[in-house]
Structure 1
Amino acid sequence: MSASGKAAPAPAQKSFLGRMLRSRETGIISALAIMVIGLSFFAPDFASPNNMLNDARNFSFVGIVVLGQAMVMITGGIDLSVGSVWGLAAVSSAAFMNIGFGAIPSCILALLISAAIGLFNGLCVTKLRMPPFVPTLATMSIARALALVITRGHSIDGFLPDDSIFFNLGGGATFGLPNPFIVFVVLSVIAGLALSRTVYGRQLYAIGGNERAARLTGLEVDRLKISVYVISAVTAGIAGIIEVSYLSSAISNQGLGKELSVIAAAVIGGTALTGGEGTILGVFVGAVILEVLRNGLVLLGTDAYWQGVFVGSVIVLAVFIDQLRKGFWRTR
C-alpha cells in the first residue's frame, strides 16, 4: 500500500521528542524531580509542608539575584559584586529607616545605591574595556567595606518602619505562599518574557554569541552591557532589602559569599559562562536545586563542612552533562 497521510505526524512527533531530550531544561528538571523523590524517601521531613515553604522562602533570595546575574552571563560577562551589593543594600536601607526615613524612601535610596554600583561596573567594562572580573571584584570589596563603615561592625535593628507592610514583604505570606517566593516568581516571569519575547532579549543573546558581529550589525553593545550590570546590581539590592524585612535587622556580612551561590545556580541552570546561552526557567530551577540540596543534606545529618563539596560536585556534574548533551567530545 502506498504511503498515506497517516504517516506524516511521525517525523513531527519524533522532532518534538528530540527537542525535549536535547533541552537542558528537561535535564535539570528531571534531576530536581529525582532529588525531591529521593529526599522525600530518605528524609521524610523534607516533604512536609512547613519545610517546603521554608525552602521556597530561602531559595528566593538567591533566585532573585540569579535573574540579573544570568543576563550578565548571557552577554559573556560576570558580576562578582552581587553578594556585597546585597549586603550594602540591606544595611543602607536599614540605616535610612533607623534615622527616620520611611520604608519606601529608604528602599528606593538603597536601590539607587545598588544601581550606581552596577553602572560603575558597566562603564568600566564598556568604556574602559576592563575584563568583567576586574571591576566587579573591586566593587565586591568596595561595597562590603561600605557596609562595614555604615554598621561599624554592629547590627542595625532599631528601625521602625511606618507600618508592618515592610516586615510582611519578607516575613509574610500571600495565599499561603511566602512573599519572597511570590516576588521571585513575578520577577522571573518578567525576566523570562524580556529575554524570550523582546528585541532587547535577542540583542543580549547576540552579544554573548558574537560581540564583534553584534557591533557590526549596529547594536548598541555598550549601552546594552551597561544595562545588564545595572539590572544585576538592582536585583541584588532587592534581595538584600527583602532579607532585611524577613530578619528585621541588618548586619554587614549579609550576602557574604552569596555571589558563589548565585553563579553556581546560573551554571547549574544551563547558563554558559562564555555567553550566548541560558534561560530564566533554567536558572529558576538551578536556584531551587541548590536549596533543595542544602536542605536535604541538613535533614540527612550531613556535616555542614561537607556541604560545599557536594555543591561543587553538582556544578561540575551539571556542566559535564551539558557538554554531553551538546556532543562536545564528538566534535573533537
Structure 2
Amino acid sequence: MSSVTDTLPSGPTRSKMSDEGFISSLVAAVAISLFLIASLLVPNFFQWQNVVNLVTNNWAVIALGVGVSFLLVSGNFDLSVGGIVALSGVLSVWFAQSTEGANALSTGLGLPYGLAIACALLGSLAIGALNALFVVRFGIPSIIVTLGTMMVARGIAQVITHGSQRNTNLPDAFGYLGNLSLFGTSIKFPVVLMGLLLVVAIFVERKMVFGRITYWIGANPEAASLSGIDRARHITKLYLFSAGIAGVVGILLASEYKSGFSNRGLLMEFDALVIALLGGVAIAGGFGSVIGMFFGAIILAVVTSAATGLVLSPDWQFILKAVAVFLAIVTQTWALARRNK
C-alpha cells in the first residue's frame, strides 16, 4: 500500500521546466529588462551598489513575502503581517524598557533583552494562532480574518505607545542585532537572515513533503483531505510560520531604529502580497514559487527606485507601480496560457 506522500504531486519540480519555473524565469527576465531600461532613463542607475541596495533596502518586505507566498499557494491570505511587524517591535521595546522611566512612554517591564525578544515573538505567534483559529476552526475567509487581526495587532501597538512611539530608557544591547554588520561589509545581519530564509524556503518548497503538501492543498483541498492530509494542522503551521517571520522582522526593525513605533510596517502587508502576485503566485492557490516572489520584489524595487530617480511625485510613483503590477500580472497570464496551448 502506498503512503500519502507517495501520491503527492511533485509540485514545482518535474523532468522538464515546470510552469512555476517558466513563470519564475519570465519574472526574472522582466526584472532584468526593467533594470536595464531604468539604467537608460535614470542617471547613475547602472551601478553595482544600486543592485545591492535593491535587495538590502527591501529585506523586510521580501522576508514577509516568504510567509505570504506559502499561504497564497495553500489558497489562503495573510494581511496581518504589517500589523504584527508593528506589534512585535513595540512589545520588544516595552518589555525591555526600564521600570524607572520619567513618564509612561519611557517606562516598561524591565525584562532582560533576550527575554523581551522571546515574549515579543510569542505575542506575534499569538496573532498567527488567532488567524488559524478563525480560518481553520470557524471557516471564516482568510482575507477577512487577517484584515481584522492586522487592525487588532496595530491597535494594541497604538495603545502601548499611546499613538506615538517608545524610544527611550532602553538597554545598550537593544540596538545590536538590527545594526550588526557582517563579513567586514556594510551588509547587516537582517539582510543575511533574509537570505538564509529564502534558501530554506526554496529547499522546503522544492524538496520537502511539507512544500508538496502546501501545493496540493491549494490546488485541490478536497482531494488533499481525502488522501489523509490534515489540512487544519498544515494551514495552522503556515499561519504560525508567517506570523513568526513578521515578528522577527518587527523586532529587527525596532532594534535598527531603537524604537517601537505603532505605524511601523504600515502597508507592508500589501507590498508583500503585491510582490508575491508579481512573482507569479496564484491568488487562488496551488501555483507559484518563492524564487518568483523574490524577483517580483526586485521588479517593485526597480520601479520605485527609478521613479524616485526621475523625481516623480509620490502620486505618480503610486500610479507607476500600479501600472507595473497590472502589466506584469497580465503578461504572466498571457504567457502561461500560450505555453499550455
TM-score greater than 0.5 by the shorter chain:
yes
2:229 match: 219
Summarize the alignment of residues 278-297 of structure 1 with structure 2, pairs less than 5 Å apart. 278-297=288-307
Question: Does residue 72 of structure 2 align to residue 73 of structure 1?
Answer: yes
- CA, structure 1 residues 51+246, in 2 after alignment: closer, same or farther (shift >3 Å)? farther
Task: Give the whole-Å Cα distance in 1 for the aligned partners of 2:314 and 2:180.
Answer: 28
Summarize the alignment of residues 140-155 of structure 1 with structure 2, pairs less than 5 Å apart. 140-155=150-165
1:225-278 per-residue CA deviation (whole Å, 9 max, x = no partner) reads: 111111111111111111112222221101111111110010001110000111
Q: Any conservation in 2 of the 1:168–1:179 contact (CA below 8 Å)?
A: no
Task: Give the whole-Å Cα distance in 1 for the aligned partners of 2:114 and 2:132.
Answer: 27
Question: Does residue 208 of structure 2 align to residue 209 of structure 1?
Answer: no
Equivalent position amino acid for 1:108 in 2: A
Q: Any conservation in 1 of the 2:20–2:289 contact (CA below 8 Å)?
A: no
Task: Give the whole-Å Cα distance in 1 for the aligned partners of 2:78 and 2:316.
Answer: 26
SS in 1 for 2:261: coil
2:103 match: none
Question: Normalising by the residue count of structure 1, what TM-score does the alignment of the two structures yield?
Answer: 0.88
2:90 match: 91
Task: Give the whole-Å Cα distance in 2 for the aligned partners of 1:90 and 1:66.
Answer: 18
Q: CA deviation at 1:284?
A: 1.3
2:276 match: 266
2:329 match: 319
Equivalent position amino acid for 2:135 in 1: V
- Between 1:259-268 and 1:247-256, the stretch displaced more is 247-256
Q: CA deviation at 1:328?
A: 7.0
SS in 2 for 1:45: coil
Q: Any conservation in 2 of the 1:244–1:250 contact (CA below 8 Å)?
A: yes
2:182 match: 174
Equivalent position amino acid for 1:66 in 2: G
1:122 match: 132
Task: Give the whole-Å Cα distance in 2 for the aligned partners of 1:180 and 1:21.
Answer: 28
Q: CA deviation at 1:51?
A: 4.1
2:266 match: 256
Summarize the alignment of residues 16-27 of structure 1 with structure 2, pairs less than 5 Å apart. 23-27=22-26
Q: Any conservation in 2 of the 1:67–1:188 contact (CA below 8 Å)?
A: yes
Equivalent position amino acid for 2:328 in 1: A
% identical equivalent positions? 31
Q: CA deviation at 1:80?
A: 1.2
Task: Give the whole-Å Cα distance in 1 for the aligned partners of 2:28 and 2:53.
Answer: 20
- CA, structure 1 residues 220+174, in 2 after alignment: closer, same or farther (shift >3 Å)? same
Q: Any conservation in 2 of the 1:76–1:276 contact (CA below 8 Å)?
A: yes
**Greater helix percent: which structure?**
1
SS in 2 for 1:110: helix
1:9-54 per-residue CA deviation (whole Å, 9 max, x = no partner) reads: xxxxxx96x7699701111111111122222232233344554444
Task: Give the whole-Å Cα distance in 2 for the aligned partners of 1:45 and 1:249.
Answer: 34
- Between 1:172-181 and 1:209-218, the stretch displaced more is 172-181
Task: Give the whole-Å Cα distance in 2 for the aligned partners of 1:306 and 1:182.
Answer: 33
Task: Give the whole-Å Cα distance in 2 for the aligned partners of 1:44 and 1:179.
Answer: 30
1:4 match: none
Q: CA deviation at 1:210?
A: 0.3
Question: Normalising by the residue count of structure 2, what TM-score does the alignment of the two structures yield?
Answer: 0.86
1:60 match: 59
- Between 1:53-62 and 1:77-86, the stretch displaced more is 53-62
Question: Does residue 81 of structure 2 align to residue 82 of structure 1?
Answer: yes
Q: Any conservation in 2 of the 1:126–1:225 contact (CA below 8 Å)?
A: yes
1:269-296 per-residue CA deviation (whole Å, 9 max, x = no partner) reads: 1110000111111111112221222112
Q: CA deviation at 1:329?
A: 11
Question: Does residue 82 of structure 2 align to residue 111 of structure 1?
Answer: no
2:247 match: 237
Q: Any conservation in 2 of the 1:85–1:144 contact (CA below 8 Å)?
A: yes
Residue correspondences, number:
314
Task: Give the whole-Å Cα distance in 1 for the aligned partners of 2:261 and 2:49.
Answer: 27
1:28 match: 27
Q: Any conservation in 1 of the 2:93–2:170 contact (CA below 8 Å)?
A: no
Task: Give the whole-Å Cα distance in 1 for the aligned partners of 2:93 and 2:171.
Answer: 9
Q: CA RMSD in A?
A: 2.2
Task: Give the whole-Å Cα distance in 2 for the aligned partners of 1:231 and 1:251.
Answer: 23
Task: Give the whole-Å Cα distance in 2 for the aligned partners of 1:213 and 1:328.
Answer: 28
1:177-200 per-residue CA deviation (whole Å, 9 max, x = no partner) reads: 232221111001111111111111
Q: CA deviation at 1:320?
A: 0.8
Equivalent position amino acid for 1:88 in 2: L
Q: CA deviation at 1:136?
A: 0.8
SS in 2 for 1:223: helix
